[in-house]
């Protein structure tokens, strides 16, 4: 693949998928600025492997998996930026307070989960991945995913003040 073609195809892909993948990154880590760092790292890795991945048609799965792995690496790095700054052109348009409060509830609850529980919840219930797919992305056993899921749902119910019921 010629470099110009590669760049054109990559640019089109980034433009199409940036929004969704950015929200996934935010859901995984809970910070827009760290999410941008993680997404840049994932896009860069995608670019380096682009010809092969595009040929195989697995760009989305590769990017998602890379993003998840990067988020795990970030969590493990003790020197990671806990509160990022560096905020070129951030848009801070006003949003009605009531809407913010509603959206805060689920995101605040998610933020209070331990790291792996949070990732499991996002991948399984927001990304609709199966237990096996989630396990593959996270690099853990399916049983680990199930136990994280169970604990996460119990905790989320407490945080969201919902009645407890059986979870898979």
The whole-angstrom separation of Cα 50 and Cα 140 is 26
The minimum distance between CB 137 and another protein, in angstroms, equals 17
- Shortest gap between Cβ of 33 and another protein (angstroms)? 6
140 makes contact with another protein (CB under 8 A): no
Binding another protein (rule: CB under 8 A), the pick from 1, 58, 107, 141 is 107
Write out the DSSP string of 51-62: HHHHHHT-HHHH
Q: Which DSSP state fits 122? A: I
User: Can residue 33 be called a binding residue for another protein (CB under 8 A)?
Assistant: yes
- Counting contacts by CB under 8 A, is residue 87 touching another protein? yes
Considering the rule CB under 8 A, would residue 130 count as an interface residue with another protein?
no
Give the span between the Cα atoms of 114 and 107, in whole angstroms: 13
Closest by Cα among 7, 1, 69, 6 to 38: 69
| Shortest distance in whole angstroms from residue 56 CB to another protein | 19
Whether the CB-CB separation of 131 and 145 falls below 8 Å is answered with: yes
CA atoms within 13 A of residue 133's CA, in its CB half-sphere: 13
* Nearer Cβ to another protein (55/166): 166
CA–CA gap between residue 87 and residue 90 (Å, rounded): 6
129 close to 137: Cβ distance less than 8 angstroms: yes
Footprint (CB under 8 A) of another protein, residues 6-25? 7, 10-11, 14-15, 18-19, 22-23
Query: Can residue 141 be called a binding residue for another protein (CB under 8 A)?
Result: no
Scanning the structure block, which residue is given the tokens 């010629």? 2
Could you tell me the smallest distance in angstroms from the CB atom of residue 128 to another protein? 7
Residue numbers at the binding site for another protein (CB under 8 A):
7, 10-11, 14-15, 18-19, 22-23, 26-27, 30-33, 36-37, 40-41, 43-48, 70, 73, 76-93, 95, 99-100, 102-107, 110, 121-122, 125-126, 128, 153, 156-157, 160, 162, 165, 167-168
């Amino acid at each position: 693949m010629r470099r110009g073609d590669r760049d054109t195809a990559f640019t089109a892909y980034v433009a199409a998928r940036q929004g969704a993948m950015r929200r996934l990154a935010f859901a995984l880590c809970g910070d827009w600025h760290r999410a941008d760092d993680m997404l840049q790292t994932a896009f860069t890795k995608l670019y380096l492997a682009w010809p092969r991945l595009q040929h195989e048609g697995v760009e989305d799965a590769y990017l998602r998996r890379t993003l998840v792995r990067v988020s795990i690496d970030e969590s493990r790095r003790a020197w990671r930026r806990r509160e990022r700054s560096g905020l070129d052109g951030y848009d801070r348009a006003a949003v009605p307070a009531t809407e913010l409060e509603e959206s805060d509830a689920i995101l605040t609850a998610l933020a209070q989960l331990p790291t792996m529980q949070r990732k499991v919840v996002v991948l399984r219930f927001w990304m609709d991945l199966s237990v096996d797919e989630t396990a593959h992305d996270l690099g853990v056993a399916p049983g680990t995913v199930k136990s994280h899921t169970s604990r996460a749902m119990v905790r989320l119910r407490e945080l969201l003040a919902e009645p407890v019921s059986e979870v898979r």
